[in-house]
Amino acid sequence: MPAENPCYLTIVEAGASLKAKRLSPVELTQAYLDRIESLNPSVNAFITVLREEALAHAREMEKEISAGHYRGPLHGIPIAVKDIFATDGHRTTCGSKILKDNITHYDATVVARLKKAGCILLGKLTMSEFAFGDDVNPLTGQHPTRNPWNLERSVSGSSSGSGAAVCASFCAGALGTDTGGSIRLPSGYCGIVGMKPTYGRVSRYGVTPLAWSLDNAGPMARSVEDNALLLQIIAGADPADRMCSDKPVQDYRKGLRAGVKGLRIGLPKNYFLEYSTRDVADAVREAAKTLERQGATVSEVDLPHLKYAVGAEMAIIFGEPLAYHQKYIRQGKFDLYTDTNKAQWDAARYVSSADYIQAQRVRRYIIRDFEKAYEQVDVIFSPSTGVEANPIQEDVLADRIPVREVPAGNITLWEILWRMPSPGNLAGVPALALPCGFSAAGLPLGLQIMGRHFDEATVYRVGAAYEQATDWHTRRPAIATKA
C-alpha cells in the first residue's frame, strides 16, 4: 500500500496501483469508508452509504484481479453517484421527502456501465431537491452540504454531494447531472473537474428528469484525465434513452498529452467576463494567456444572442419541471417539497406557454452563435461560476436576493449563477469546469471550457494542457487532510 493516504490518489494513480497489486480494492474501499465515517458528518455529502455492499463488491473485484482478470482502468475504483440515479435495490430519493422510501430495482444505464467496468459503488450523494430546490437535505437532518474548503460556504447545486464528496476525497469520482449548471457550479465552487457533455452524449435512462430538453448526466473527478476516463465508460448510444446519440464515442485520453500548439481559444466579448467578479475574470484571462504561452492562439468571439440566455433558461427550467411535478402536486404532496421548490412551482404558474416556445426559438439563435464562433476558434473560455463560493446562509430563500459587485454593476448572485452555465445547456455544447485559481478568501475560482458538439476530446485536451501548466488541481482543502 502506498505511504500516502490512498483516498488522495487520482483514479489513474489508484488504477495503476490496483493493476500492479500494490493496492487492493478492499484496502482502497475500506480507506474511503473510514474517511466517510470520520468526516462526512461535517460535510454531509451522503444520503446513503453502502458499506457492506461496497466491501463485498471490493472483495469480488480483488478476486478477479488476483485471478488475472483485469477489466480496465476503473477496475476496483470506488465511486459514488448523485441520488437522482436509479441503483438496483437501493433508495433513490432525489433528495426529497416525497421519494424517501423509493426503492429502485434497476441500475441507470450509466451506473450499470460503471459497475461493468469494475467500479465499486460507495453510496448515494446529497443533492438539491429534485435537482432544483434548495440544499437543506430534508433526508439528512436539514443540514446543508458544506464546502470542504470552508464549511461555512456553499457547495452550490444541484450535484452538491458529488462536488463535496470528490473534493473531500470521500470517493475517487462521482456522477452528477446538469440542467442549468448543476455539475459545473459545484465543481467550480469545490475546485474539482466536472464535465457537462454534449446533449445526448450520455444516456439519461434511470435518471429522474428535471427539464428534458436541457438535462445531461456527467462525471466529476479530481483531474481532467480521471474525468475523461469516467466519460469514456458512460458515453455512447443507449436505446433506452431516445435522445441519446449513436454517434461514435471519441477516444478522450488520446490527446491529453498533445498540448495546445495550433489550437485556437476564444474569449467572449460580451456576457460572461463583465458579469463575473474581478478575481474570477482575471483568472480566466490569465488561463487563456497561460495556454497562449504554450502555443495556442487567443482571440475574441462574439455570441450576441446570449443576452437572452438567462430568460430562455428560466422559461424552460420553470415550464418543463412543473409539467413533470404536476403528478406529485395532484397527489397532494405539495407540502412535502422544500420551501424553494414550493416557491418555484408556484412562480412557474406565471410563465406562459408563449415564453416557453419563445425560449425554444431563441435556442436556435444561440446554437448558431456557437457554431459561427467555432468557425474561428476550437474552444471558448469563460468562468464556470463567476464568483467564489457564497456564504451558506445565502442559499436560503429570504426577503432579498444577495448581490455582487461586478464590472457591469451590482447584480444578483442568482443571475450570475444562471448566467455562466446556461448557454452550455441551451446550445447543448460540451462544457468542462476546472479550477483556475483561488480567491483572497482561499476559495477555488472556476474556468469553463466549451467546445463543439460531440468534441469532448478537444475540450479535455485543452483542459489537460492547462492542468499540466498549473498546480491548482493538486491543492487539497484542510478538511481533506484531517483523516
Partner 1 sequence: MHAIPYYEEAPMASSNKSGPRKAQNAKQRLSRRQLLTHGAAIGAAGALMAGCPGTKAPADPLSDENLMGASALSGERLSPERVHGMKLMLAFTLKQLETLREFDPDEEEPLTMFRV
Q: Please, which of residues 46-65 interact with partner 1 by CB under 8 A?
A: none
Does 397 help bind partner 1 (rule: CB under 8 A)?
yes
Least Å distance, CB 348 to partner 1, is 8
Least Å distance, CB 263 to partner 1, is 22
Does 310 help bind partner 1 (rule: CB under 8 A)?
yes
d(CA 80, CA 160): 12
d(CA 259, CA 113): 30
Q: Please, which of residues 228-267 interact with partner 1 by CB under 8 A?
A: 243, 245
How would you classify the pairing of strands 46-49 and 120-125?
antiparallel
Check 158, 160, 382, 384 and give the catalytic one: 158
Report the chain's terminal Cα–Cα distance, integer Å. Answer: 17
Could you confirm whether 154 is annotated as catalytic?
no
| C-alpha pair distances (Å), 478 with each of 39, 150, 443, 462 | 11, 8, 12, 29
Q: Select the residue interacting with partner 1 from 37, 251, 292, 346 (CB under 8 A).
A: 346
Give ∠ CA 239-242-248 in degrees, rounded to 5: 65
Q: Select the residue interacting with partner 1 from 88, 274, 394, 415 (CB under 8 A).
A: 415
Considering only the stretches 111-119, 137-145, 184-192, 349-357, report the one whose residues sit in contact with partner 1 under the rule CB under 8 A. Answer: 349-357
Q: Which is nearer to partner 1, 290 or 360 (CB)?
A: 360
Check 24, 82, 156, 422 and give the catalytic one: 82
Does 405 help bind partner 1 (rule: CB under 8 A)?
no
d(CA 249, CA 235): 7
Q: How many Cα neighbours within 13 Å face the side chain of 155?
A: 35
The answer to whether the bond into 384 is cis (omega within 30° of 0) is: no
Q: Select the residue interacting with partner 1 from 314, 436, 449, 450 (CB under 8 A).
A: 314
Least Å distance, CB 136 to partner 1, is 15
Least Å distance, CB 375 to partner 1, is 17
Q: Select the residue interacting with partner 1 from 360, 439, 468, 470 (CB under 8 A).
A: 360
Q: Which is nearer to partner 1, 243 or 441 (CB)?
A: 243
x-marked contacts with partner 1 along 183-212 as a string, rule CB under 8 A: ---------------xxx------------
Least Å distance, CB 344 to partner 1, is 6
Q: Which is nearer to partner 1, 163 or 430 (CB)?
A: 430
Is the Cβ–Cβ distance between 60 and 129 less than 8 Å? no
Does 344 help bind partner 1 (rule: CB under 8 A)?
yes
Does 268 help bind partner 1 (rule: CB under 8 A)?
no
Q: Which is nearer to partner 1, 401 or 478 (CB)?
A: 401
Does 315 help bind partner 1 (rule: CB under 8 A)?
yes
Does 270 help bind partner 1 (rule: CB under 8 A)?
no
Check 156, 160, 169, 182 and give the catalytic one: 182
d(CA 225, CA 253): 7
Q: Assign residue 203 a region (left: φ > 0; alpha: ψ between -120 and 50; beta: otherwise).
A: beta
Could you confirm whether 63 is annotated as catalytic?
no
Q: Select the residue interacting with partner 1 from 52, 141, 350, 375 (CB under 8 A).
A: 350
Nearest Cα to 285, choosing from 301, 304, 266, 303? 266
Does 349 help bind partner 1 (rule: CB under 8 A)?
yes
Could you confirm whether 482 is annotated as catalytic?
no
Considering only the stretches 82-90, 127-135, 164-172, 411-419, report the one whose residues sit in contact with partner 1 under the rule CB under 8 A. Answer: 411-419
Does 363 help bind partner 1 (rule: CB under 8 A)?
yes
Q: Select the residue interacting with partner 1 from 94, 359, 417, 479 (CB under 8 A).
A: 359
Q: Which is nearer to partner 1, 124 or 325 (CB)?
A: 325
Torsion of CA 110, 116, 117, 118, to 10 degrees: 120
Q: Which is nearer to partner 1, 205 or 308 (CB)?
A: 308
Catalytic residues: 82, 158, 182
List residues binding partner 1 (CB under 8 A): 198-200, 213, 243, 245, 305, 307-308, 310-315, 318, 339-340, 342-344, 346-347, 349-351, 355, 357-365, 367, 397, 399-401, 412, 414-415, 418, 428, 453-454
